[in-house]
Chain A
Amino acid sequence: QITLKESGPTLVKPTQTLTLTCTFSGFSLSTSGVGVGWIRQPPGKALEWLALIYWDDDKRYSPSLKSRLTITKDTSKNQVVLTMTNMDPVDTATYYCARYEYNRSSLGSYWGQGTLVTVSS
């Protein structure tokens, strides 16, 4: 059974750095063809892809946010961490992590429940 779960602060102040952790089970990021991505959704708005880390530690970022994002993995802990610097109220959103499968070209076959992050002073 594949599961993913996001964790991190629910409230951050403007200019602070956000650190979110995705803890998953049912698969390993050391397996070829697997990855974990981050997606966010502001209240009442559309989904936005943020970043993706592959089994071989290759990383891809949304061009519009690339300068603020860092994605890393800890294979031994089955965790992926996303950091976003210089947070702003417009970054208020539900943040999701999701599984990627190379052989299916599928991003989002499994999702976490999401975690709502509010940016406010």
Chain B
Amino acid sequence: QTVVTQEPSLTVSPGGTVTLTCASSTGAVTSGYYPNWFQQKPGQAPRALIYSTSNKHSWTPARFSGSLLGGQAALTLSGVQPEDEAEYYCLLYYGGAQLWVFGGGTKLTVL
């Protein structure tokens, strides 16, 4: 069974920078996994932030960026705002099996 792993929780100060990562049990994450990132606040549906590793949606704030780092997908928030406190999920595509797998989520606290 394929498992996608994220940090369970991270804490960052307002104005700071934080990087969330997304690892695959099958090995290094590459662009071929088309990493997607989502933000979810309590009681709300997830909101898409990043698609295909590093591409932003039209509504994605500039302080969010996606990349590949050390064999993992990464989401970096620069100049964190209090409203960025939320759960963040990554989503990877496994082309061989043609299936999508979400990570377990990272709870980001802004403190």
Listed in ascending order, the chain A residues whose CB lies under 8 Å from chain B are 37, 39, 46-49, 52, 60-64, 96, 101, 104-114
Contacts and interface: CB of A to CB of B under 8 A. Distances in A.
B34 A105 contact: yes
A19 to B, nearest CB: 21
A114 B45 CA distance: 7
Nearest to A58: B98
Contacts of A61: 99
B80 interface: no
Nearest to A6: B45
A109 B47 CA distance: 7
A93 B44 CA distance: 14
Given A47-B89, A47-B102, A47-B105, 11 more contacts: A37-B100, A39-B102, A46-B102, A49-B91, A49-B101, A63-B97, A106-B48, A108-B36, A109-B48, A109-B57, A111-B48
Contacts of B15: none
Among the interface residues A46, A52, A60, A61, which one has the most CB atoms of the partner chain B within 10 A?
Answer: A46
| Interface SS of chain B | strand
A91 to B, nearest CB: 17
Contacts of A112: 45
A111 B52 contact: no
B38 interface: yes
Contact of A47 (B34, B46, B55): B46
A56 B86 CA distance: 36
Q: Interface centre among A63, A96, A105, by most B CB within 10 Å?
A: A105
Given A46-B89, A60-B99, A63-B97, A107 B45 contact: no
Contacts of B101: 49
